[in-house]
Chains A and B, each alone.
Chain A
Amino acid sequence: MRVRSILSVSIVVFFGLLTLAGYFIPFKPLVDLGGGLLYIAVFLSSIALLVGVINLSRIHLRKAARGGPGGGYSMVLFASLWVTFLVVFFAIVQRKDVITIWIVRNIQLPLEASLSALVVFALLVGGVRLLYRRRDAVAFFFLGAALIVLFAAIPLPSLLEEWLKGPDYYRQMLASVFLSVASGGGRGILLGMALGAAATGLRILMGSDRPYGR
């Protein structure tokens, strides 16, 4: 078992460093090798996706067969998944994109739009609950910023808009303060995340972090 572990770490570190070298060193064979390795990885990833989909349908088929709560939904998922797969497969074979476009436009997009609408409600309820759960300065700042953004998105009556329009100097100053604070905070978060992402990748390349079995 230990030999297997050493072998898997060696493979990850060797091919990881080889692919990374392709990014840094502008040497054509190395760049091509890195591209080729990525191509293989993408191919394996699509096989893994197929395995995942088969596993998902197996789970839902079992749930539907058991007939417990939500079993009906599992049956709908199983049937719609494979019917869509077959229909799209034959559409591709016969080079008829019309069916695929119809499925995306009339089934997938409306479903995704409904889910997006639900997100709005979840955020609204979450925002209201926030005042009950956490009554600290950060929560009030967060809600204040959210309200400012929301109010800014509302089209104002022309009279009110005229009244709000001050001299350009003040407006520019306010905009610059808000933009500086917002973009500064955003960049700070991004900087930290970039460092975190780099460290995560380096741990894998150093062989100390192994999310592929130990």
Chain B
Amino acid sequence: MEAYYPWIAFFLALILAGLILIFNLMQRGRWPVFRDLPGYNEVSSDVGASVEAGTRVHVALGEGQIIGPGAEAELAGLSALAKVAQAASISDRPPVVTSSDGLTSLLSQDVMYSTYRQMRVEERFDHDLGRLAGLGPAGYTAGAMITSSTEKVSATFVIGAMGAEAALIADTGAQRGTVIAAVTDPVGQAAVFATTDHPLIGEELFAAGAYLKVSHTHAASLQAQDVLRWIAIAAILLGALGSTFLRLF
């Protein structure tokens, strides 16, 4: 059976890609309605409040690496960053982005620069705002905690691969303003659930692009995920029923 795993994965990827394309074509400029997620609803108001208060937004992309564990969470975080940077582009104090990976920090600079260039305010962009806060979980956490306290931060978005240390970043952020957190590690999810007002659990991290209206493809991919999830649920239920039936008779 294990020999077929790559092919099963290949066909699932093909189905997912097909569904994303179909939903993308079906949207025709309209934005689909998703269930309410208070965490993402608060993003725009938090960014707006920080712009008005003349403070910064801190986007903590976590300890993941683009080439290595946590890449998917970093990419989801970078998508969200584009929208946060766009909303905060009118501020005198642009967002500060921290990560634990050299490539992620370079990409965060690139995403911010591209966004600022699109908004025609590239003179406000500073490369130091997309920074490597520290290496390893402990080093990154310490660096991100210091960033919150020294950069006049009033809103913290923790979005990326992070363990229980996310609680420390969330706690430091909460002392200075609001915190919205979405992390991948199960222990980290429990930690942010306990320490933040608006935790985002499980796959909600990957819904950032769709909820923050980054692009129609993000919305289409969220719809495609929902369809595949229902297919998986049906397959699990049918498998359980089939197995029980075979044992009984």
A interface residue numbers (CB < 8 A to B)? 23-24, 38, 41-42, 44-53, 55-56, 58-59, 63, 69-70, 73, 111-112, 115-116, 118-119, 122-123, 125-127, 129-130, 133-134, 142, 146, 186, 188-189, 191-193, 195-206, 208-209, 211-214
Contact = CB atoms under 8 A, between A and B. Distances in A.
Lowest 3 CB-CB distances: which A-B pairs, in order?
Answer: A196-B206, A192-B203, A48-B102
Nearest to B12: A198
The majority secondary structure among interface residues of chain A is helix
B75 A122 contact: no
8 contacts: A24-B10, A38-B67, A52-B101, A195-B228, A198-B16, A202-B20, A206-B217, A209-B79
Interface residues of B, number: 80
B6 to A, nearest CB: 5
Interface stretch (B27-35, B39-47, B48-56, B162-170): B162-170
Interface string B199-239: 00111011101000001011001101100110010000000
B244 interface: no
Contacts of A208: 24, 215, 217
B16 A24 contact: no
Contact of A196 (B10, B103, B131, B207): B207
B198 to A, nearest CB: 10
Given A24-B6, A209-B215, A213-B111, A59 B131 contact: yes
B7 A24 contact: yes
B225 A199 contact: yes
B146 A55 contact: no
Contacts of B127: 55
Contacts of A69: 150
A206 B10 contact: no
Contacts of B232: 191, 195
Interface of B: 6-7, 9-10, 12-13, 16-17, 20-21, 24, 65-67, 72-73, 75-76, 78-79, 82, 101-103, 105-107, 110-111, 113-114, 118, 127-128, 131-138, 141-143, 146, 149-150, 164-165, 167-168, 170-171, 184, 186, 189-191, 193-195, 197, 201-203, 205-207, 209, 215, 217-218, 221-222, 224-225, 228-229, 232
Contact of B209 (A134, A206, A209): A209
B146 A73 contact: yes
B128 A59 contact: yes
Given A122-B191, A197-B206, A201-B72, 14 more contacts: A24-B7, A45-B103, A46-B102, A52-B101, A112-B136, A115-B141, A119-B164, A119-B191, A125-B171, A126-B171, A193-B206, A199-B224, A201-B75, A208-B217
A111 B225 CA distance: 41
A196 B6 contact: no
B20 A196 contact: no
A115 B168 contact: yes
B220 to A, nearest CB: 9
